[in-house]
Chain A
Amino acid sequence: GQNIDQPTEMTATEGAIVQINCTYQTSGFNGLFWYQQHAGEAPTFLSYNVLDGLEEKGRFSSFLSRSKGYSYLLLKELQMKDSASYLCAVTDSNYQLIWGAGTKLIIKP
């Protein structure tokens, strides 16, 4: 079966750095997305990785290793507004988007 694993919940301190991991087992791979979802709101696009390596976008970076079936989202200089769920999603060989259940990130002052 197809599976995306993310930690259920993480806690970090304002101003710090946090890394949210995602591992996947899918039938093929055609790209990996990270979305941010605030409570009661829709997911918003953060990043897309299809090649190995690190993609940096301001305070957020996303890394991909296809051989390991692994990605992480790195958030720097954490702000209270970063409190949200972060969803990892993978496009498989049939171009189906497989979603993880998300990691709830709690930021403390």
Chain B
Amino acid sequence: DAMVIQNPRYQVTQFGKPVTLSCSQTLNHNVMYWYQQKSSQAPKLLFHYYDKDFNNEADTPDNFQSRRPNTSFCFLDIRSPGLGDAAMYLCATSKGQHTDTQYFGPGTRLTVL
């Protein structure tokens, strides 16, 4: 089945220790998104790629970086995690931009000790 996969599902890191979250998709979608979602809050878009074009949200901290080496894979790098970065990180894809439906992976829950 075509899908969006995120690894790991649960990640524990230490304050200030860099961490990388990964996302892969078999949908062959052009757009990949990274969201941060905290408990009982709306998902917050961090950035997205349309093919290789990177689009950063204005309020995304510099601490968050992303890489998309090919169509299938996208990575979220948190350079120096703080306690406030503990959240669920959701990867989503869509065929195109604009009004296309976004399909989500299962998420990675990040804990910062």
Which A residues fall within an 8 A CB radius of B?
4, 8, 30-31, 33, 40-45, 48, 50, 87, 91, 95-97, 99-102, 104
Residues of B within 8 A of A87 (CB): 42-43
Which B residues fall within an 8 A CB radius of A?
40-45, 88, 90, 97-99, 101-107, 109
User: What are 9 A-B contacts defined by CB distance under 8 Å?
Assistant: A30-B99, A41-B107, A42-B90, A42-B104, A43-B43, A43-B104, A45-B103, A87-B43, A102-B42
Q: Closest chain B residue to A40 by CB distance?
A: B109
- A-B interface contact total, Cβ < 8 Å: 47
Instruction: Tell me the bound Cα distance from A40 to B102 in angstroms.
Output: 18
CB atoms of B40 and A44 under 8 A apart: no
Instruction: Tell me the bound Cα distance from A99 to B97 in angstroms.
Output: 16
Given contacts A42-B106, A44-B104, contact A100 B42 (CB under 8 A): yes
For the residues of A in contact with B, the DSSP-based class is: loop
CB atoms of B42 and A48 under 8 A apart: no
Residues of A within 8 A of B45 (CB): 96-97
CB atoms of B90 and A30 under 8 A apart: no
Residues of A within 8 A of B44 (CB): 99
Identify 19 new A-B residue pairs, CB closer than 8 A, beyond the known A43-B90, A95-B98, A101-B40: A30-B98, A31-B99, A40-B107, A40-B109, A41-B107, A42-B105, A42-B106, A43-B43, A43-B104, A45-B101, A45-B103, A50-B99, A87-B42, A87-B43, A95-B97, A97-B45, A97-B102, A99-B44, A104-B40
